[in-house]
């Protein structure tokens, strides 16, 4: 008779001792078969779409809320305000529901209908604002800050609150390290706030230092329309082009990004990212969103540069269903002059 494995010891299957927040993190690391075979490397995606709120941002939401609790900035019944592309708002609202807080979420109206509907469904006080650049006081980040200041609410401030990256430093990075027995050659990641990229990079650096090994290469994956590729390559933050991906791209150095060890950058056009998300879906059964496509495309480029035999890790930030009306909608794709995958083109 074969013995039954103890499910409590499997990664991602631990018992949550406090509340739903125990289910955040501990995500599987999935070997991406096609990307690995095409490059002769091993390319892994951290399945962040498996978090309770469906994205990598659950980790930042929990880290920010727990930091505020520790500092005494958040009391029972308190209100959290945040400007978000959607995923952080989802994470914050779910954790707030579990811990007895209220959430006001300010979001640009250009984000996907699925994220808007989901935020309303889970009880967020959602306020949509016109999409404006950061320098404009009507930008969603500034609107959220003002609401918090005027009412004495907690402003989560995910862009410049380094509790965000510290969350990744102490969870995402050691998880990856443990899952690969410390054998990681490179990490690629896109950047919205920079929390995932910088926190994971710093955490992998901590792990390498402790192990007495060299730190993995850290490579920014950047969409068109973001200033960070130019910043990494030539210290020039100017922006050109645009992207249909949501939640990533940045035109300033946030506090989360400051001082992060970043070795190189790849700029990924939307068509290249979409090719990856369609391939992951149809050939590997992985339904992911646009930023995951940017991440995987960058991982493939890095693998080709490093040569066969290397191990590259990236982040599968959220699930494809969140973008059904856009990235998987032939009409939307045609309106952006992007190719429509064959099985959707009916
Ligand atoms: N991908 C998606 C889908 C996101 O919503 C975000 C955050 N807005 C990111 C990637 C970027 O993560 P971070 O804020 O940690 O840079």
220-270 pLDDT per residue, tens:
999 999 999 999 999 999 999 999 999 999 999 999 999 999 999 999 999
Rounded distance between C-alpha atoms, residue 29 and residue 73, angstroms: 35
Q: Which atom of ligand 1 is nearest to the CA of 317?
A: 1
Assess whether the C-beta atom of 139 lies below 6 angstroms from ligand 1. no
Assess whether the C-beta atom of 196 lies below 6 angstroms from ligand 1. yes
Q: For residues 311-322, give the mean pLDDT.
A: 98
CA of 195 relative to ligand 1 center, distance in Å: 8
Give the pLDDT score at 14.
58
Identify the residue whose C-alpha is closest to ligand 1 atom 11.
Answer: 192
CA of 346 relative to ligand 1 center, distance in Å: 32
Tell which one of 248, 260, 273 to mutate to probe ligand 1, the residue whose CB is within 8 A of the most ligand atoms. 248
Give the pLDDT score at 166.
98
112-158 pLDDT per residue, tens:
999 999 999 999 999 999 999 999 999 999 999 999 999 999 999 99
Assess whether the C-beta atom of 58 lies below 6 angstroms from ligand 1. no
Assess whether the C-beta atom of 87 lies below 6 angstroms from ligand 1. yes
Assess whether the C-beta atom of 289 lies below 6 angstroms from ligand 1. yes
pTM above 0.90, yes or no: yes
Q: Which atom of ligand 1 is nearest to the CA of 85?
A: 8
Is 57 tagged catalytic? Answer: yes
Tell which one of 56, 198, 201 to mutate to probe ligand 1, the residue whose CB is within 8 A of the most ligand atoms. 56
- Catalytic residue among 57, 75, 233, 326, which? 57
244-258 pLDDT per residue, tens:
999 999 999 999 999
CA of 86 relative to ligand 1 center, distance in Å: 9
**ipTM of this complex:** 0.99
At 9, is the pLDDT very low, low, confident or very high (cuts 50, 70, 90)? very low
CA of 221 relative to ligand 1 center, distance in Å: 12
């Amino acid at each position: 008779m074969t013995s039954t494995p103890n499910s409590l010891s499997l990664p991602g299957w631990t018992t949550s001792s406090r509340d739903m927040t125990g289910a955040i993190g501990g995500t599987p690391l999935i070997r991406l078969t096609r990307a690995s075979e095409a490059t002769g490397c091993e390319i892994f995606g951290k399945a962040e779409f498996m978090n309770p709120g469906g994205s990598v941002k659950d980790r930042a939401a929990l880290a920010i809320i727990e930091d505020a609790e520790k500092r005494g900035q958040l009391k029972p019944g308190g209100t959290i305000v945040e400007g978000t592309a959607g995923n952080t708002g989802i994470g914050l609202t779910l954790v707030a529901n579990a811990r007895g807080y209220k959430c006001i979420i300010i979001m640009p109206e250009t984000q996907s209908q699925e994220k808007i509907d989901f935020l309303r469904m889970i009880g967020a006080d959602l306020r949509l604002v016109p999409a404006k650049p950061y320098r404009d006081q009507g930008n969603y980040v500034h609107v959220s800050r003002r609401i918090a200041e005027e009412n004495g609410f907690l402003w989560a401030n995910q862009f410049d609150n380094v509790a965000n990256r510290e969350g990744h430093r102490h969870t995402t990075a050691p998880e990856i390290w443990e899952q690969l027995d410390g054998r990681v050659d490179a990490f690629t990641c896109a950047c919205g706030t920079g929390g995932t990229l910088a926190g994971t990079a710093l955490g992998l650096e901590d792990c390498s230092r402790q192990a007495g090994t060299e730190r993995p290469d850290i490579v920014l994956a950047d969409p068109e329309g973001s200033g960070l590729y130019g910043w990494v390559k030539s210290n020039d933050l100017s922006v050109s082009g645009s992207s249909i991906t949501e939640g990533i791209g940045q035109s300033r150095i946030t506090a989360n990004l400051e001082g992060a060890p970043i070795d190189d950058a790849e700029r990924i056009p939307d068509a290249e990212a979409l090719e990856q998300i369609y391939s992951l879906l149809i050939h590997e059964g992985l339904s992911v969103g646009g930023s995951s496509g940017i991440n995987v495309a960058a991982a493939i480029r890095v693998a080709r540069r490093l040569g066969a035999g290397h191990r590259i890790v990236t982040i599968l930030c959220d699930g494809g269903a969140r973008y059904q009306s856009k990235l998987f909608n032939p009409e939307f794709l045609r309106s952006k002059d992007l190719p429509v995958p064959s099985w959707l083109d009916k």
